[in-house]
Amino acid sequence: MRHKTIAPIVLVLLFLTTVVGSPAPPPTDQEKITHILDRLGFGARPGDVERVQKMGIREYIEQQLHPETINDARTEERVSQFASLRMSQDEILQQYPQPQQLARQLGILNPKQAKPDDQPASRAKIQEYMKDNMLRPPNQLLQELISDKIVRGVESERQLQEVMTDFWFNHFNIYWDKGSDKWLTTGFETNVIRPHALGKFKDLLLATAESPAMLFYLDNHLSSSPSPAVQNALRARPNAKRKPGINENYARELMELHTLGVDGGYTQKDVTEVARAFTGWTIDQPRQSAKFIFRPMMHDRGEKIVLGQRIPANRGVQDGQQVIDILAHHPSTARFIATKLVRRFVSDDPPQSLVDKVAATYTRTDGDIREMLRTIFYSDEFMSPESYGNKMKSPFEYAVSAIRALGGETSGNQQIAKAIGQMGQPLYQYQPPTGFPDRADHWMSDGALVARLNFAVTLTSGRIPATRINLDGFKDPQAAALFLGSPDFQKR
């Protein structure tokens, strides 16, 4: 199938997507199972529907809610090839050196330069040194992170855990391309997001607040008391370039995007008070171990009032911890998190009846993510025929589900990562802290449809390296590409 056939297919699909169908009949058992596989995971593989039918829908849901009970040794073996994901932060910084550090070590960078000299001789010297010492460029960290995400999405039996890892990373979004986050994002996903994906929301919130990746991305590592003593101490540091003082970036996003929501009832005064509470939360040895540390010298020790609650003066790290507790137990946080979860699993326009039930579960269980999901999955709204196939797949979901549908395996190589980016979702490289929107209108455009169909054609024609698919059940690659490009398949 040649790419020149793409345009007619796009016209057919655009026509099909405009057709208004009649009211959906009651779903069959097979449709219910397909719906569950599409929502709790990244779609069915050959034989999955029959497997779930045999074990029962309830048993499958409970199994997915407890991923620790699922043997996923084969997937872990497959992703073990991505060495950087098993490294400590210190090992990452050693094996994937920062260009400035390496240039300084080699005498290429003088104290007045911010970046290494880009002359061919300088580049050659750095490349030769890296080759001789078996060092790797930072971009390989990104590719291994993406490859791990794709392989787990395609092959892991713990599908819900992968969905929730993707969901929470997007909720607490950071931007890989921002400075030191090139070296910190790996640990953010593997040590912060994934282990807490089905636990208590407060634990996840605190883990992200203490994450060097988040501290750097939203600039809290720079935030300090504006007292004269602190300002003098910071100015006395060699090569000091920043102006000391409170930075409100993290405080604002913590309330607007991570907890309360934009209409959650906080004021600018609350933003300032929360920022004061988090002064001194910074990064220790950022070019070595890069761990969270609280520096009392940088902390604003005065009394704070956050959302009407008093935080006493003359304390330290407890100020930020109390803010986390206040926000995690606020009714606006319960509603905001419930709304986002219902939007992800049920509908772009979350039914208020279910949002209320999930928010009540949040409050009753102290923010237990697993229990909120259980409330969703066993709800009438989730199993309602109106919710079937009404969520547009993101590019990542589309690519992964396509390989799964064809019984495939993949290395998650650069070509797939590039294709997902061309479809509109450059993984780990979304700059705004909002994360990618979870609504169909964000993913729908003529260009996005063409990019999806191009991916379908490339995949079904066997032109993606280190990716195996099975076309049994399709008369030819063109029929498989048409299936993957259909409106029904592009939705979940």
Percent of the chain scoring above 90 in pLDDT: 80
Q: Tell me the two tokens of residue 357.
A: 């039930």
Helix axes 477-485, 446-460, angle to 10 degrees: 150
pLDDT digits (tens, 9 = 90+) for 329-386: 999 999 999 999 999 999 999 999 999 999 999 999 999 999 999 999 999 999 999 9
Rounded CA-CA distance 451/454 in Å is 5
pLDDT at 13 over 80: no
pLDDT digits (tens, 9 = 90+) for 131-177: 888 899 999 999 999 999 999 999 999 999 999 999 999 999 999 99
Beta strands in 158-308 (DSSP E): 281-284, 291-294, 304-306
Let me know: does 163 contact 401? Beta carbons within 8 Å: no
Strand partners, 468: 409
Rounded CA-CA distance 406/459 in Å is 10
Rounded CA-CA distance 196/366 in Å is 14
H or E element in which residue 150 lies:
helix 139-155
Rounded CA-CA distance 357/245 in Å is 42
Rounded CA-CA distance 35/336 in Å is 25
At residue 234, the pLDDT reads 62
Residue that has been written with the tokens 């345009």 in this structure: 7
The mean pLDDT value of the chain amounts to 91
pLDDT digits (tens, 9 = 90+) for 418-474: 999 999 999 999 999 999 999 999 998 888 899 999 999 999 999 999 999 999 999
pLDDT digits (tens, 9 = 90+) for 179-235: 999 999 999 999 999 999 999 999 999 999 999 999 999 999 999 998 766 666 666
At residue 22, the pLDDT reads 52
User: Mean pLDDT, to the nearest integer, of 76-83?
Assistant: 97
pTM of the entire predicted model: 0.91
